[in-house]
Structure 1
Amino acid sequence: MSGSFIEKSYAKIKSKYTLISPKDLLKEADIDLLPFPLDDNTGGFTMTNNRCSTIVINSNWDEHYIGFVILHEFSHLILHGGSSTPYYRRIGAGRFVPKIENEANELAMKLLLDMHDLEEIKRLTKSQLIYYLGIDEDLLRYIPKFDN
């Protein structure tokens, strides 16, 4: 059931927004982005009040990782009305990852892949792909197998 929920949400996002970059997506969706120094393990979180949403990202984190964090938090807004736990760098290698975190990771990965050249992605090794996409190794499981 979760898969079709993710797919429907993904299709709506694709039809409504131009998927160029995570920051451009937020501008188009009229969601504010606030860089702020957070603790070393927290990448970001979402605040919503009066129907206005702001994604707060860790200004201490390397810019390379921020794209996925933005898309993860955006996914919580779309899928869960903004309900989430803060995005952590270590997202549960060997530990229980709550359902809403899995859903946000799955949708964020679909959006992130749409913002890159699929042919380029297919040519990369796993370690190159981690760097190219700005993700942790733990997130590789959310990347679908590609037909070559």
Structure 2
Amino acid sequence: MERIFQTIDHLKARNAAYDPITLCKHLDIDILHLELGDILGFKTNFYGVSLIYVNQLLSPATARFIVAHELGHILLHQGIQPLFTQYLAHDHFISQFENEANQFAIILLLCNYYLTYRYEEAPEQLMEQIGLPTELRPLFLDTFEQLVENKQRLLHLLT
């Protein structure tokens, strides 16, 4: 999780924004909303140009979570191509990247939430506020617990 904190801290130093859509604009990453069927979203990178594709049928909060997740992949997993990870077919390898991108999205969106609304909510309400897909509830609760235990680190990101 330290790498995620460092990445978000670096973003703070450059821009002081935690909204993933604002960050994408600042980083020249285009977001395309398309009908993607059952796919929530994905990212591509061609010749150094990153694009995030988001299913246009998602609620605004869930779409924001997907943008934050894909931004996590772009910032944390530079140089790793999705087809390469699928070719390796190591579930642990792939799920490690997905968990890291999900944790990045959770922390980024919690920072954005706390800076925007400046009051605390119960974890269940926070999950809804940040558009968390229901299957990520256990990861959210674990990440939230780690943030509570490491409150100084979170406060550093918020000041």
Q: TM-score range by the shorter chain?
A: 0.7 to 0.9
Secondary structure class of the residue paired with 1:114: helix
Regions of 4+ moved over 4 Å: none
Residues 1:99 and 2:96 aligned together: yes
Residue in 2 aligned with 1:67? 64
Percent identity of equivalent pairs: 27
Secondary structure class of the residue paired with 2:64: helix
Instruction: Give TM-score, length-normalised by structure 2.
Output: 0.72
Residues 1:126 and 2:112 aligned together: no
Residue in 2 aligned with 1:48? 45
Residue in 1 aligned with 2:22? 24
Residue in 1 aligned with 2:85? none
**Offset of 1:11 from its aligned partner?**
1.6
Count of paired positions: 133
Structure 2: runs of 5 or more not aligned: 83-90, 152-159
Residue in 1 aligned with 2:114? 117
Q: In structure 2, how many angstroms separate the alpha carbons of the residues matched to 1:128 and 1:6?
A: 23
**Offset of 1:131 from its aligned partner?**
1.6
For residues 84 and 76 of structure 1, do their structure 2 counterparts lie closer, same or farther at Cα, with a shift above 3 Å needed? farther
Residue in 2 aligned with 1:39? 37
- Contact residue 35 and residue 57 of structure 2 kept, 8 A: yes
Instruction: Give TM-score, length-normalised by structure 1.
Output: 0.77
Q: What is the alpha-carbon root mean square deviation over aligned residues? A: 2.3
